[in-house]
Amino acid sequence: MIIVIKQGATREEVSEVVQTIEALGCKADVSEGSAQSIIGVIGDTAGLLPEQFTVLPAVERAMRASKPYKLVSRQFRPEPTEIPLGDVRVGSEKIALIAGPCTVESEEQIVRIAKRVKAAGASALRGGAFKPRTSPYAFRGLGEEGLKYLAQARAETGLPIVTEVMTIGAVDLVAKYADVMQIGARNMQNFQLLEAVGKIHKPVLLKRGMSANLEELLLCAEYILKEGNKQVMICERGIRTFESFTRNTLSLAIVPEIKQQTHLPVIVDPSHATGVSRLVPAACKGAVAMGADGLLIEVHFDPQHAMVDGSQSLNCETFERLVGELAPVAEAVGRKI
Ligand code: PEP
Ligand code: MN
């Protein structure tokens, strides 16, 4: 159930609505918009009727949520959510560029890449310290040591850090260093992990599972918002299809659809979506044209010798060139780089 509050309703009248919701055994999630406040009724709402709320003086309208998710929906929050990240507010006019290597390899490596991507115009540094790997014998990241190197790179460049958290047990540790907590594709439906990052006060970058549809993706975001953390960016990173010339298939049509159905910003990751560095620049341009609020791009000064995902990583020069090439595309759709 979604309840729209009348403009000019008093605090007491609004709290009467909240008390009514709580008396019915549900929780009220109040979203105060600039023009209007909206309350999401959370819990078992199956037996509730809109009339139980429309009789209250503060209530303009009450309606059943037409989708299984509520807090992430545009119905619930008509204004776009903007998430501060370095020099941008993700979801506003300026497009966020989150760039860096797949994985942190050494302090020297991450600091060197951080300086290059910063100079080229990146807003944030990415890099994994805890890596989900298909093979248990592959390099799985430096762990806390990697987080420390990321923190050093932030200290030297001012770039905020986006890094993955893979387990509930590591949430506090990763949150100590990270500015944005990444939930990887393989963990998209790790519901307890979603609830754990929902309880902390750090933005979350939620990657689409490799076989997840739109509704499943948005329900996972709902898990995080339901716990109180409203700062979620949704990331399209390609899905598994029968096509094999790319690592995954980039689903750009999901970008305007997510933006229509939700108020959350959308990031596109053309690196994992294509798996092929020569396709990444064009995919970035397409993503910007389709309305992406940010790009997650793997960059390494020596992709050939990168420990992980070198074949999809741009070198620093290509990244620099790409940032310049993105500017007119952004401008054409009313955005800025
Ligand atoms: C990554 O960002 O390096 C990563 C492992 O991504 P994904 O979870 O999308 O595969
Ligand atoms: Mn990677």
What digits encode the pLDDT tens for the residues 250-278? 999 999 999 999 999 999 999 999 999 99
Could you tell me what percent of the chain has a pLDDT over 90? 96
User: Residue 49: its pLDDT value, please?
Assistant: 93
* For the CA of 103, the nearest atom of ligand 1: 3
Ligand nearest to the CA of 162: 1
Question: What spacing in Å lies between the alpha carbon of 95 and ligand 2's midpoint?
Answer: 21
What digits encode the pLDDT tens for the residues 5-30? 999 999 999 999 999 999 999 999 99
- Ligand 1 lined by 275 (C-beta under 6 Å): no
3-state secondary structure of 331: helix
3-state secondary structure of 2: strand
C-alpha 283, offset from chain centre? 18
Q: How confident is the model at residue 66 (pLDDT cuts 50, 70, 90)?
A: confident
pLDDT at 230 over 90: yes
- Ligand 1 lined by 165 (C-beta under 6 Å): no
Question: What spacing in Å lies between the alpha carbon of 135 and ligand 2's midpoint?
Answer: 14
User: Residue 46: its pLDDT value, please?
Assistant: 85
What digits encode the pLDDT tens for the residues 195-210? 999 999 999 999 999 9
- Ligand 1 lined by 184 (C-beta under 6 Å): yes
Map tokens 């790997």 to a residue.
Answer: 133
- Ligand 1 lined by 272 (C-beta under 6 Å): yes
Q: How confident is the model at residue 222 (pLDDT cuts 50, 70, 90)?
A: very high
What is the reported pTM?
0.95
Integer Cα distance of 232 and 199 in angstroms: 12
Integer Cα distance of 162 and 203 in angstroms: 9
Ligand nearest to the CA of 268: 1
What residue type is assigned to position 169 of the chain?
G
Question: What spacing in Å lies between the alpha carbon of 101 and ligand 2's midpoint?
Answer: 7
Domains and CATH numbers, the chain: 2-63 (3.30.70.1140), 83-332 (3.20.20.70)
- Ligand 1 lined by 247 (C-beta under 6 Å): no
Integer Cα distance of 202 and 197 in angstroms: 8
pLDDT at 36 over 90: no
User: Residue 225: its pLDDT value, please?
Assistant: 97
Token output for 326: 């993105």
CB 161 within 8 A of CB 127: yes
Report, as an integer, the average pLDDT of 43-57: 93
Integer Cα distance of 41 and 1 in angstroms: 5
Token output for 75: 């119905």
3-state secondary structure of 204: strand
- Ligand 1 lined by 154 (C-beta under 6 Å): no
* For the CA of 235, the nearest atom of ligand 1: 9
pLDDT at 296 over 90: yes
The residues, ordered by sequence, that sit 6+ positions from 155 with a Cβ below 8 Å of its Cβ are: none
> What residues have a C-beta under 5 A from ligand 2, the ion?
102, 309
User: Residue 33: its pLDDT value, please?
Assistant: 83
Token output for 225: 């918002």
pLDDT averaged over the chain? 97
| 50-55 long-range Cβ contacts below 8 angstroms, 24+ apart | 50/1, 52/20, 52/24, 53/1, 53/3, 53/17, 53/20, 53/21
Q: How confident is the model at residue 185 (pLDDT cuts 50, 70, 90)?
A: very high
Integer Cα distance of 274 and 269 in angstroms: 9
What digits encode the pLDDT tens for the residues 97-138? 999 999 999 999 999 999 999 999 999 999 999 999 999 999
Q: How confident is the model at residue 34 (pLDDT cuts 50, 70, 90)?
A: confident
- Ligand 1 lined by 127 (C-beta under 6 Å): no
User: Residue 170: its pLDDT value, please?
Assistant: 98
Q: How confident is the model at residue 35 (pLDDT cuts 50, 70, 90)?
A: confident
- Ligand 1 lined by 143 (C-beta under 6 Å): no
Integer Cα distance of 84 and 142 in angstroms: 28
User: Residue 265: its pLDDT value, please?
Assistant: 98
Overall size of the chain counted in residues: 337
User: Residue 135: its pLDDT value, please?
Assistant: 96
